[in-house]
């Protein structure tokens, strides 16, 4: 049985470094999409092993970082309703909306609870039948299946005091939007291995062919990442494009079909604004009409009072790969993990937090 140590062996790392050095003849710019990959790259210093001229950009692969502030405002407004128990993933509670965050809302008296899974929210709903339990459902296609499972279970078990505030986002349309950005310098992508575990490789293969770039599905250990980078660079050097799978121990071409079937039954695809990136066509999910009764936005009215405030935070440019976090004037001074100004410093998967921890 293989262990993570097998994918961190120094001899293999050095072999890949040497292979890349021999393969590369000109500068290339790659973007890793996933925040987990960004952390591994910085933690192990992998970007410093690449041939001269090969640059890694850190993409929008941190789900709480890209959750629109309007969604957080809405979750906060619901959390202040006395009959509501607001639940979400722990990381999400610290991310500010227009003016404040869910954790501060809890300090003001809102019943806000951090959960590991939306299925826990179902249990809370059963334990508190006199309350309305709302789960603020965020994240990529990796967490969307568990949300779909929870609401399907709620319907099957006739739990009527449970609902969802859905802001799930879809990664492939965001990758395409980044390619189409006129400022884009992306020559190739390292696609997120865990998203591909669910969605497979067909969707990104279509994008790769539409835009004639290589996209390599990559894991999270040093050998995974360097192997993915090597494959991507090899394709660029040979003028080839398409999607490749460098994470075969976890990802099948077709993905997780039962999870995809469940998601299709529960969600519809919609245009959705990503924080820092703006409106992404087909960039998110909402509940399908069959699950409308479980939609918190239908069940509870909301009158937005606060405009979306502009701030000095440049996380939008960080998420697009326009700047590295340490080029933001606030990095490490007025913005730290203890006092974050932007979502990319709040989240454990955010690029700014990764730079602070490993390059601070």
Kindly state whether residue 230 participates in binding ligand SF4, applying the rule CB under 6 A.
Answer: no
Radius of gyration of the chain (CA): 21
Spatial CA neighbour of 206 closest among 241, 248, 245, 247: 241
Kindly state whether residue 318 participates in binding ligand SF4, applying the rule CB under 6 A.
Answer: yes
Residue placing its CB nearer to ligand SF4 in the complex, 263 or 345: 345
Sign of CA dihedral 295, 105, 144, 151: negative
Q: Which of residues 30-89 bind ligand SF4 (CB under 6 A)?
A: none
CA-to-CA separations, 263 to 64, 140, 258, 268, in angstroms, rounded: 20, 12, 9, 8
Q: Which of 40, 69, 344, 347 binds ligand SF4 (CB under 6 A)?
A: 344
Residue with tokens 């490993």: 358
Q: Which of 133, 217, 328, 354 binds ligand SF4 (CB under 6 A)?
A: 328
CA-to-CA separations, 300 to 106, 178, 333, 348, in angstroms, rounded: 19, 34, 40, 31
Instruction: With beta carbons less than 8 A apart as the criterion, state whether 32 and 185 touch.
Output: no
The 266-305 contact track toward ligand SF4, x by CB under 6 A, reads ----------------------------------------
Please give the structure tokens belonging to residue 270. Answer: 């919609």
Instruction: With beta carbons less than 8 A apart as the criterion, state whether 303 and 310 touch.
Output: no
Q: Which of 342, 347, 349, 354 binds ligand SF4 (CB under 6 A)?
A: 342
Q: Which of 341, 347, 349, 354 binds ligand SF4 (CB under 6 A)?
A: 341
Point out the residue whose Cβ comes nearest to ligand SF4: 342
Q: Which of 64, 122, 208, 313 binds ligand SF4 (CB under 6 A)?
A: 313
Residue placing its CB nearer to ligand SF4 in the complex, 100 or 282: 100
Q: How far is the CB of 311 from ligand SF4 (least distance, A)?
A: 8
Kindly state whether residue 319 participates in binding ligand SF4, applying the rule CB under 6 A.
Answer: no
Q: How far is the CB of 336 from ligand SF4 (least distance, A)?
A: 8
Q: Which of 121, 345, 347, 349 binds ligand SF4 (CB under 6 A)?
A: 345
Kindly state whether residue 314 participates in binding ligand SF4, applying the rule CB under 6 A.
Answer: yes
Beta bridge partners of 325: none
Strands 278-287 and 267-274: antiparallel
Residue with tokens 């006199």: 130
Question: Interface residues with ligand SF4 (CB under 6 A)?
Answer: 313-315, 318, 325, 328, 330-331, 335, 340-342, 344-345, 352
């Amino acid at each position: 049985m293989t262990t993570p140590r097998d994918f961190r062996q120094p001899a293999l790392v050095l072999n890949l470094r040497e292979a890349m050095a021999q393969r590369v003849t000109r500068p290339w710019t790659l973007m890793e999409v996933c925040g987990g990959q960004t952390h591994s790259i910085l933690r192990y210093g992998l970007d410093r092993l690449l041939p001269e001229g090969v640059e890694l950009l850190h993409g929008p692969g941190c789900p709480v970082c890209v959750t629109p502030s309007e969604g957080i405002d809405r979750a906060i407004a619901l959390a202040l309703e006395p009959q509501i128990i607001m639940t979400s993933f722990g990381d999400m509670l610290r991310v500010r909306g227009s003016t404040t965050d869910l954790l501060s809302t809890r300090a003001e008296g809102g019943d806000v609870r951090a959960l590991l899974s939306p299925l826990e929210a179902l249990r809370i709903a059963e334990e508190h039948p006199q309350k309305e339990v709302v789960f603020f459902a965020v994240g990529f296609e990796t967490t969307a299946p568990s949300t779909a499972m929870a609401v399907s279970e709620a319907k099957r078990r006739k739990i009527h005091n449970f609902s969802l505030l859905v802001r799930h986002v879809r990664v492939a349309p965001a990758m395409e939007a980044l390619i189409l950005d006129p400022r884009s310098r992306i020559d190739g992508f390292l696609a997120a291995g865990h998203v591909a575990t669910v969605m497979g490789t067909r969707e990104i293969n279509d994008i790769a062919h539409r835009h004639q770039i290589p996209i390599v599905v990559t894991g999270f250990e040093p050998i995974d990442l360097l192997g993915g980078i090597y494959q991507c660079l090899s394709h660029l050097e040979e003028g080839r494009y398409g999607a490749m799978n460098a994470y075969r121990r976890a990802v099948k071409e077709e993905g997780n079909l039962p999870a995809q079937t469940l998601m299709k039954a529960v969600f519809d695809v919609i245009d959705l604004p990503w924080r820092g990136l703006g409106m992404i066509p087909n960039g998110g999910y909402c509940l399908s009409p069959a699950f409308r009764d479980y939609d918190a936005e239908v069940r509870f009215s909301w009158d937005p009072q606060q405009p979306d405030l502009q701030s000095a935070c440049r996380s939008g440019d960080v998420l697009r790969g326009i700047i590295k976090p340490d080029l933001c004037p606030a990095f490490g001074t007025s913005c730290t993990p203890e006092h974050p100004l932007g979502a990319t410093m709040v989240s454990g998967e955010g690029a700014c937090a990764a730079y602070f921890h490993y390059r601070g």
